[in-house]
Structure 1
């Protein structure tokens, strides 16, 4: 069935809460998008429950609040659900307390790993590791970080160890602003996976993906809002739309990075051109 074109007004009439992607929906690399501030003001005026559900693993909710405030957007920390917040639970569940971990990302990315008991390792040639967490393209020179992580993983496997590989942010690209796109954590992981598949055929050395399109962030967002029939608004088919559908949540594809085409493998519930009410 083809997705139905809709408006934000219709979505609010049909659903009891909004789950919003961040990059490409309310912000891009250059700042807040034009419709974001009026949207939040109207949602607050109406008392509509909403949460930002983002694959961003580079910022804590508190850091995110400060960043949004700098763009003129006021959002409470409890409304922000980040993929980075899933890292502490991952490290605990995998028994990775004390694990020597390469972290590609920001200071907040390091804090997420340490909150789960991981011990960040220096990004230096020859480092020995037990885990790799790819959180963001920021914080480390892009190619240098990928090469150091790849080399450390290969050393570990050659020595008979299988390091834990975790990717809280599976996004491949993000909107930088002005019509430009940038590679982010998911693309970094794919490069490493391709190299590992060539070096160790059949070993299935792949990253555990925590954020969208896995359903965990959607479940947490709906739980915080007490929503029974929420709708997700996102701009990427492979993460926002696929993840919402996996969580059995209706989803509107917002005009942005992805374009829905008939015959594709992922079909959103709705198509949304504007966030204005």
Structure 2
């Protein structure tokens, strides 16, 4: 994304929900019970907002984890990463940084150099190496249906354009395994990303020095599962796979929460 660590594949939805994950060699010993739990920071991606993490956050909060889900500005890789880095700098103690989709490139950059970030958790997310772009990774392997036909580009300032997913493509491409009514609401409230983010190169990746976990969405029509596996293996991540669309944290919140809790131990 090249050290390979053990990959755990769930053979069914039930097995995926209950499968245990091994710990990476770089991980410290489990946290003593009397130590405070790390703060979990949940980073959303494009065409979405922080509410996509609601079911995951509910599970984490119930289990005693401090959780915040800041708004991702979706303006540029550099500025969004700087914004998240500033948010992380306000937090004391250990941090687990979890990201979905475009949020992955933001987290990968924002965590670099922050000693409080102890683990990264990617949920169907971009985990680029230095110099790579979203578009390059999205199209590295066949299978993505997030193409120009599916996108609606709307100018918002001189020379600047936002990208939205068109209504007729939204559920199929983005959220095929959530109820139709839910997908309709998600489309209605989707937050666009500046089109420049697609070709903006990423910086020095935090995953080179921070242990990582990855939840692969096998049925992803935005970021092909093959690309997710490639990035996860390259990062040396502990991997779990689920039969899910791109929004695995919504359709499979238990699996996403369990991955994050594994990263937090």
Give your verdict on TM over 0.5.
no
TM class by smaller structure? 0.3 to 0.5
Q: TM-score if structure 1 supplies the norm length? A: 0.34
Larger Rg: 1
If asked which structure has higher relative contact order (CA below 8 Å, sep 6+), I would say 2
